[in-house]
Amino acid sequence: MKHAYLATIHPEPIDGGYSVWFEGLTGCGAQGDNLADALDAAADALAGWLYTMQKHGNEIPDPLPTDQIPLESGEFVSYVVADIEAYRRFVESYSVRKNLTIPSWLAEKAEAANVNYSQLLQDALQQRLGIQP
């Protein structure tokens, strides 16, 4: 599911680049050397923030309307879109290492048959848990 939130964009006059944050989403912000990079990083930050809220069972707050976003001189707002499902697929698809122990005679037979242990374990776990590949 995609969500659109207004982001406050602050040009950094001394160092250059831009800082971006989302009013009402505590701790959700990003920065970039140029506007495109800052908005791209903001979309990642927003997706991560919303994903974390969902994962922990928290309600996702509604976006604030434009008139509730305070701006200082030089700042402006822009919509940033976050795709939580795409973020979830990316985050949850990384591999984790698991060690296992099997009898040596079984290991020899499996190696002789060129068994891919990782694929075999994934297939077996999916079958046991009733997950369709």
pLDDT by residue for the chain (133 residues), tens only, comes to 899 999 999 999 888 999 999 999 999 999 999 999 999 999 999 999 999 999 999 999 999 999 999 999 999 999 999 999 999 999 988 888 889 899 999 999 999 999 999 999 999 999 999 988 7
User: Both 48 and 105 in a single domain?
Assistant: no
Q: What is the CATH number of the domain that holds 26?
A: 3.30.160.250
User: Both 105 and 62 in a single domain?
Assistant: no
pLDDT at 15: 86
**DSSP one-letter code for 53:** H
User: Both 19 and 55 in a single domain?
Assistant: yes
User: Both 79 and 119 in a single domain?
Assistant: no
User: Both 68 and 102 in a single domain?
Assistant: no
User: Both 66 and 123 in a single domain?
Assistant: no
Question: How many structural domains comprise the chain?
Answer: 2
pLDDT at 73: 94
User: Both 103 and 47 in a single domain?
Assistant: no
Query: H or E stretch including 108?
Result: helix 104-112
User: Both 48 and 112 in a single domain?
Assistant: no
User: Both 112 and 129 in a single domain?
Assistant: yes
User: Both 86 and 106 in a single domain?
Assistant: no
- Expressed as residue numbers, the domain containing 47 is 2-92
pLDDT at 1: 86
pLDDT at 103: 94
Q: What angle do CA 16, 25, 14 make, to 5 degrees?
A: 10
pLDDT at 132: 83
Which residues, at least 6 apart from 3, have a Cβ–Cβ distance to it below 8 Å? 46, 50, 60, 63, 81, 82, 84
User: Both 81 and 104 in a single domain?
Assistant: no
User: Both 100 and 126 in a single domain?
Assistant: yes
